Structure 1
Amino acid sequence: MKNELFSVGPLTIHGYGLMIALGILVCIFMGTYRAKKHHLKEDAVLDIAIFSILAGFIGAKLLFVLVEFDRFLEDPMQVLGTEGFVVYGGIIAGVLAAILYCHRKKLSFLEYFDLLAPSIAVAQGFGRIGCFLAGCCYGRETDAFWGVTFPEGSFAPAGVPLIPTQLLSSAGDFLIMAVLLIYSRHSKKTGNTGALYLLLYGIGRFLIEFLRSDDRGTVGMLSTSQFISIGIVLIAVGMFNKKQRKKYT
């Protein structure tokens, strides 16, 4: 609820950027720690993280431009210069970057996807806290006791109690991380942990969209993210089914 946390001389530390940075650092630390534990290449994890993060920022911004395309045509620099991002654009671009890297280095993408899936979820959890501090990705108006009123200067409407969808999303992301860590200890099939991440995140994102009130684009009766969520869930189901078919062939 306070995006400008403090200043050091001319440098202002923003809550959104700080949470994104913390999420990235925790993601990389967790990934490299677990790589060593699972006898995978730590340097490959670091490379994948760097390339995927860079591609993710670009992809998240590009999808935001597509969602806000009419506004982009009117004032391109205003849209490009905002803090607006669409998470799914980042996930898709980041995964594609990881696939290309693994293909080039002759590594198993699914092994590293399984390894990094919990790290991705925890990074998203921190990112959503950043959204809460900035006031973006806000929910509908509510009379419930847990409604949050944002101050002037936030992206959210000021002075109106809103559903804290950012914190609900953050809690969901951290819960997904915990589930994936537990599941990965017992699953012996490569690709299943990554598939479970896609399944849980896709379902969670589809549901949370019903509570949001910010302008985020539509595809028919669905929000853009709900439409993409359906595709993500279908991919996850397809990954699980492929593994099951191999088991019986």
Structure 2
Amino acid sequence: MPSRAELAVSGLPRFVTIAGWRVNSYKVFLAVGICVGTLTTAAVADAAGLSPLPVGLAAMVCALAGLVGARIYHLLVQAPRYLGGDSPRALWHTASGGMGVFGALLTFIPASFAAAAVISVPAAVLWDQMAVGVLAGGFWIRLGCVLNGCCGGRETDGPFGVFLHDTVGVRKRRVPVQFLEMAWWLLGLLGFLALWPTGSPAGSGALAVLAWYGAGRFLLEPLRERPAIVWGRVRINQLVALAIAVGAIGSLILVFWRP
């Protein structure tokens, strides 16, 4: 059992009160991240000469669809835990956590094809607009993880450790993996806006963002305190991150080097 010292308040609120309702901080910043990503996508579309309203709405629909895929991914990874549950309500009860960002692709991509068809924009072009929104919104979503205590780093005595709590309030000196991922998102956004060449093939921007995030997640995953393990020892998120990074980099090479 954690000691009283370990359960001491860290100063980072897991819950906030909105209009009299007690709301988890992660859900608040998930909503903030989706809104920021939507508005960023609309702004990028406007700068590219596209109508910002339909593109922004398409981005929001895809993001909401992605939440379904994120939950499905979590249920698949944690299948033994849920198969042994007493109630089927646990399948959609997310109070104790339960979303995997990689799973968002399962529903985000099909939704993007449908949204692109509705607004009459090529899917690859829409992906490039939304890629910038993903970089901008991901920063805020991971901030929600900091406040909630999920996706936390392992305990450390190193000089760069930060006192942070987990989802049950245990406060320890941890590797600040959530902050590192936030920095990765921000660096990716700044680099994309400053360095990505204009006139690049459609879809290449989205592939670059996938490669960037996959590589970063592959490097950061071993720093987590409770990585998702399947088959006894496989860090599934690190494996998926590697597959996404390698696949995206390979696709980028084909896109830029094809005749």
Q: Determine if the TM-score, normalized by the shorter chain, exceeds 0.5.
A: yes
2:207 corresponds to which letter in structure 1?
Answer: A
Deviation at 1:222, TM superposition (A): 3.8
C-alpha distance in 2 between matches for 1:4 and 1:26: 21
2:183 aligned with 1:183: no
Aligned to 2:105: 91
Q: SS of 1:161's equivalent? A: strand
Deviation at 1:231, TM superposition (A): 2.1
Aligned to 1:5: 16
C-alpha distance in 2 between matches for 1:61 and 1:91: 11
2:142 aligned with 1:131: no
C-alpha distance in 1 between matches for 2:93 and 2:66: 17
Which contiguous aligned blocks of 4+ residues in structure 1 show a shift greater than 6 angstroms? none
How much is the aligned-residue C-alpha RMSD, in angstroms?
Answer: 2.2
Q: Structure 2 vs 1, CA of residues 238 and 220 (structure 1 numbering), >3 Å: closer, same or farther?
A: farther
C-alpha distance in 2 between matches for 1:13 and 1:84: 16
1:118 corresponds to which letter in structure 2?
Answer: V
C-alpha distance in 2 between matches for 1:59 and 1:41: 28
TM-score, with structure 1 as normaliser: 0.88
Aligned to 1:162: 174
TM-score, with structure 2 as normaliser: 0.85
C-alpha distance in 2 between matches for 1:161 and 1:190: 44
Contact 2:40 2:136 in 1 (8 A): no
Q: Structure 2 vs 1, CA of residues 183 and 110 (structure 1 numbering), >3 Å: closer, same or farther?
A: farther
The percentage of counterpart residues that share the same residue type is 26
Deviation at 1:109, TM superposition (A): 1.4
Q: Structure 2 vs 1, CA of residues 207 and 157 (structure 1 numbering), >3 Å: closer, same or farther?
A: farther
Contact 2:28 2:144 in 1 (8 A): yes
2:76 aligned with 1:66: yes
Unaligned runs of 5+ in 1: none
Deviation at 1:157, TM superposition (A): 6.6
Contact 2:162 2:175 in 1 (8 A): yes
Q: SS of 2:111's equivalent? A: helix
Unaligned runs of 5+ in 2: 1-11
How many residues are treated as equivalent by the alignment? 244
2:27 aligned with 1:17: yes
2:246 aligned with 1:230: no
Deviation at 1:245, TM superposition (A): 3.5
C-alpha distance in 1 between matches for 2:251 and 2:232: 27
